[in-house]
Structure 1
Amino acid sequence: MAHVDTGILSGTRDAATGLDEFRGIPYAAPPIGALRWKPPQPVAAWSGVRAADRFGPRCMQRPLYGDMVFRSNGMSEDCLYLNVWTPAHRQAGKLPVLVYFYGGSLLAGDGSELRYDGASLAQRGIVTVTVNFRLDVFGLLALPALAAESPRHATGNYSLMDMTAALHWVRDNIAAFGGDPSQITIGGESAGSMAVSALMASPMSRGLMQRAIGESGAVLGNLKPMPLAEAEQKGEAFMHKVGAHSLADLRAMPAEVLMKALGTTDSGGFDMTIDGAVLPRSPEAIYAAGAQAHIPLLVGSNSQEGYWKGLLDKQAPTPANYRAAVQRQFGASADEALHLYPGSTEAEVKASGTALEGDQFIAFSTWRWMDWQHKTGNAPVYYYYFDQPRPAKRDGSAGPGTGAVHSGEIEYALGNLAGNRVYAWTATDRRVSAEMEGYWANFIKTGNPNGAGLPHWPAVTDQDGGLLRQVIGADTHTRIDRNAARYEFLQRFEPDAHL
């Protein structure tokens, strides 16, 4: 049992793990009907005991990603639920807390996914929380009519408002699950990581977290949010597409009609917005001014966030084809790009092409976050490079990977290799996972990833023309990262940083 502000919850006890699990806890009112595209509203209290023994519905989303394994109770607009894993024998208000936000481009994902299961970290003495938040058009639509009805004259960013509401709920209620409301870490992967960087910048979530973890992605560099006017134009174009003549029309439309209008690809979607409230100005400006949360940050990206084949568009990895591709992309600056991403042999083309694709996809934005927080955040930053490829698939359909792909670190970091039955995990994978999860657990507990039995991980420090960075993989070690020149080059191709 757990007593929260709105009533009594009953979870389930797993004798094998020694954990209590509470699934499908409402943290905000269902955002349906007149509450569609409204900031999250308080939950209505209930009488008696409410069962929290099954995951709530996942938020409305298109089936865009094949690697998501859901345990949720269907799909619905009524989806603002969270889940808690905690040791069965605990004292109120004593344990550190992780609140984790899923990836999926803010278009898909769910807190019930097996790879985000909180049991392994909870067994290490951490109250672990996963959160559902509105997605796609339901979480990101911006319209002048929505701004007009908002007390803050803001529109969009409902996804971030949901996450902020969940953090308020955690602060106010987590002691009932053994959690310490003054020791909350927020974390996430990909879009979840981008959200963490935005929440650190937002005045609306200030003080709700004491540490942050970002796995591949930030709302900086090439992944900055949309200016409000651009976001509102996209919103009005969508409104016209579905034949709505007013905001009331749009709210009255069935969710399935809106989903069908979005199509079957992730192109042309919605995004976070510099709305004047959740994000009062660009994250670049906020971090540059040192106005973000001054909290310890553990952040990094993977060795194969992108792949050379994407750059060469099915052409052979020859130096000539590589040079032509770089010239098409960078024009007069191609020679500088080729100096930073050289390709004079086939092996070099594959390595540099993979690095360039990964940087432009998400590693550049992650570096930008690390760099700003290191310079202006007044708190330690721990920077990682994950390079453990997934092993062969169990069904024999694919051999081991050549690098750590985007999202490939999740099961390792959260201790959930066993929950992914696709891959034939090896003893090395399990050792890497134990190290990585150990780093994460120590950081959640203390703000420092170091601990007994783990290779030492120094905080980001300038050394010998680079920054100290931890390589996490079969050979975990510290190296001097000298890739700043690559990212500073890419930054020059982002001329409008909204500063």
Structure 2
Amino acid sequence: MKKKTLSLLLLSVIGLLPMTSFSQKSTAPADAIIANASTAVVQTGSGKVRGYIHKGTYTYKGIPYAESERFMPPSKPKPWSDVRSSMTYGPVCPMDATTSVNDVLEFAFNHNWGYTNENCQSLNVWTSGINDNKKRPVMVWLHGGGFTAGSSIELPSYDGENLSKKGDVVVVSLNHRLNILGFCDLSAYGEKYKSSANVGVMDLEAALHWVRDNIANFGGDPNNVTIFGQSGGGAKVTTLMYAPSAKGLFHKAIVQSGSYRTSFLEKENAQKVSAALLEELGLKPNQVDSLQKISYEKLNAAGKIAQQKVQAQMKAEGKAFVGGGLGWGPSQDGNYLPYQQVDPAGLAISKDVPMLIGSTKNEFMASLINPAIRSFSTEEAKAFLQKKYGDKTEAYLKAVEKAYPNTTKPSDLIDIDLTMFRPGAVKQANMKATADAAPVYMYMFNWQSPVMDGMYKAIHCIEIPFIFNNIARCEEMTGGGASAYVLSNKMSQAWINFAKSGNPNHKGLPTWQKYSAENGATMIFDNQCVQKFHHDKDLLEITSAK
């Protein structure tokens, strides 16, 4: 009797399913996810893809834009005949495994490490319309992590839905090959490997080719593409601007805290690392193909040792390093990247591309490394600075007061970024802002996070949720207060306007003048946004002498 009763109950529930489904569909709130076999289907050059709709935004994840063998240039992905489900993020490039974190920093950043696979060349798209013949500006995000780590899903701030919705723009993010997989120069070992030094950047270009060929079906304009990125992502933006083959694939560029690399690795040194790699693995030059088959873990470990050996050799010879140390990244291979960053011929490649360049006030501040600095008295802060600046300490303090008159905490005297990102941004802007080049706009993000008693300040990466309009997704870093939302509205609109027209100005900001080396015009993003001119010139001159 019990079995019969249960069977009748199941039958009655099953019988109600069609009616229940219809009822849910007809009364669902506007922000419900719509995901089914026929929704959000778009044709690409490789086949149809199916995404989903969330809060009115068409969302696609993990779409393959390329494929390749290890160390080889990317090629178009093999076509598929069925509709490809593209509703979850694709794999990230293999990298050093994360086995522990700093709890208080991880609270703020809230990383998503994803899952790894060398076949990581995929992208994600957010758009408010598909197959509608509209020409929305396209914003292609290049993730941070230097050229060795990170992914398009690493931080919650990277989600493109809110930015796409706010500006009616198409947002694209992507994964590509990193570290030894993307930047191992094996060109000395035959024609087969002539491009190996920069295949990680060639992946980025392949993604831009995909955008050019496919984004119209996603409601985007292939003739209005902005590439933007932060930290390593900003450096990737700069690198693409020096690649002749990438010319015309993007039309505007934004570099956020990414101007720290002022040159590419020289080919000679890149090839020394590869020679040391073969030696470390006990391989002869004619056995170079073995590198395509050994495990990533073994390859990665040997690559680190090879870099250490070459770095020690370069140090003994008095040679400088790119970005402060010898690491994986683009090199001037004479092929894909024929010019150095200071070469006029290299600058000329993208001289018609408008740029937006900037950094945050505190970036990798001293008090993160030494927490004792947070509770310094004014006397302790001055003593700390005295060890660094000697008889220039008083001049330094006066320059800080001039540049940042609202400085109150003693630790703020120490925590200003003055040696890496801000000086690099100024140098890049000065090189770019010539009379015959497209306009440059400079910014600085000074807003201070209130979370954890203010310890995060204007930390590296903090501006990203403001630009992506993702304050709610990143409350651990931003606090989620009213002032954060107000500033986010101003910043995200500026980025959207720049993507649309090459000019970030809008009525929510004071007039944002074009930057020049003469005027030093910089938009300061804070609770009160103001434009200043050479506000920290004296400070940078003092610190550059050290």
Task: Give the TM-score band, short-chain normalised.
Answer: 0.7 to 0.9
| Cα distance in 1, alignment partners of residues 420 and 513 from structure 2 | 27
Cross-structure match for 1:84: 125
Residue 284 of structure 1 aligns to a residue in which SS? coil
1:321, distance to aligned residue in structure 2 (A): 4.0
Amino acid in the other structure paired with 1:354? D
Amino acid in structure 1 at the alignment position of 2:242: A
- Cα 1:242–1:92 change in 2 (3 A) is farther
Match of 1:453 among 508, 511, 520: 508
- The residue type paired with residue 241 of structure 1 is E
Q: Which runs of 5+ in 1 are unaligned?
A: 328-333, 393-397, 494-499
Distance 1:342 1:310, change over 3 A: farther
Partner of residue 223 from structure 2, selected from 182, 190, 196: 182
Q: What residue in structure 2 maps to residue 27 of structure 1? A: 65
Instruction: Note if 1:118 corresponds to 2:160.
Output: yes
Q: 1:331 — aligned with what? A: none
Tell me the equivalent position of 1:237: 276
Question: SS state of the match for residue 364, structure 1?
Answer: helix
Unaligned 5+ runs, structure 2: 1-40, 309-323, 402-406
Q: Of 2, 6, 11, which aligns to 2:51?
A: 11
Post-superposition shift, 1:254?
Answer: 1.3
TM-score, with normalisation over the residues of structure 2? 0.77
Whole-angstrom distance in 1 between the partners of 2:408 and 2:190? 52
Shift of 1:405: 0.8
Change (3 A) 1:170 1:219: farther
Give the secondary structure class of the aligned counterpart of 1:443: helix
Q: Which residue, 324, 327, 332 being the options, matches 2:387?
A: 324
Asked if 2 retains the 8 angstrom alpha-carbon contact of 1:290 and 1:376, the reply is no
* Alignment counterpart, residue 137 of structure 1, candidates 157, 180, 184: 180
8 Å CA contact 2:65–2:122 kept in 1: the answer is yes
Instruction: Give the drift of 1:306.
Output: 3.2
User: How far 1:390 sits from its partner (Å)?
Assistant: 2.0
Summarize the alignment of residues 200-215 of structure 1 with structure 2, pairs less than 5 Å apart.
200-215=241-256
Checking the alignment, whether the CA contact within 8 Å between 1:210 and 1:295 is kept in structure 2 is yes
Determine if the alignment matches structure 1 residue 382 to structure 2 residue 425.
Answer: no
DSSP-derived class of the 1:138 partner: helix
Taking the TM superposition and a 5 Å limit, the aligned residue runs for 1:293-372 are: 293-309=351-367, 317-326=380-389, 339=395, 350-351=411-412, 353-355=414-416, 358-372=417-431
Separation (CA, whole Å) in 2 of partners of 1:405 and 1:178: 35
**How far 1:247 sits from its partner (Å)?**
1.7
Among 510, 515, 528, which residue is 1:475 paired with?
528
In structure 2, the CA distance between the partners of 1:171 and 1:362, relative to structure 1 (3 Å rule), is same
In structure 1, distance between residues paired with 2:541 and 2:290:
46
TM-score norm. by structure 1 comes to 0.84
CA distance in 1, matches of 2:126, 2:460: 26
- 2:340 equivalent to 1:282: yes
Q: Retained in 2: the 8 A contact 1:220–1:368?
A: no
Matched, 1:41 2:75: yes
Displacement of 1:436 in angstroms is 0.7
Alpha carbons 2:256, 2:357 under 8 Å: kept: yes
The 1:164–1:344 alpha-carbon spacing in structure 2 relative to 1, beyond 3 Å, is closer
User: What is the alpha-carbon distance in structure 2 between the residues aligned to residue 320 and residue 491 of structure 1?
Assistant: 20
Query: Cα gap change, 1:419/1:251 in structure 2, threshold over 3 Å: closer, same or farther?
Result: same
1:406 positional shift: 0.9
Matched residue, 2:94: 60
In structure 1, distance between residues paired with 2:545 and 2:352:
27
The Cα shift of 1:421 comes to 4.6
**In 1, Cα distance between equivalents of 2:181 and 2:160:** 27
Structure 2 CA distance for aligned equivalents of residues 111 and 439 of structure 1 = 22
AA in 1 matched with 2:523: Q
Partner residue of 1:418 out of 456, 465, 472? 472
Q: What's the Cα RMSD here?
A: 3.2
| CA positional deviation for 1:185 | 0.3
Aligned residue among 88, 100, 103 for 2:141? 100
Change (3 A) 1:342 1:259: farther
Size of the aligned set, in residue pairs, is 466
Q: State how far apart, in whole Å, the 2-side matches of 1:202 and 1:6 are.
A: 26
Structure of larger gyration radius: 2
**Structure 1 partner of 2:9:** none
Bigger proportion of residues as helix = 2
| Alignment correspondent of 2:4 | none
Residue pair 1:211, 1:297 contacting (<8 A) in 2 also:
yes
Identity %: 27
- Give the Cα separation in 2 of the matches to 1:338 and 1:227: 40
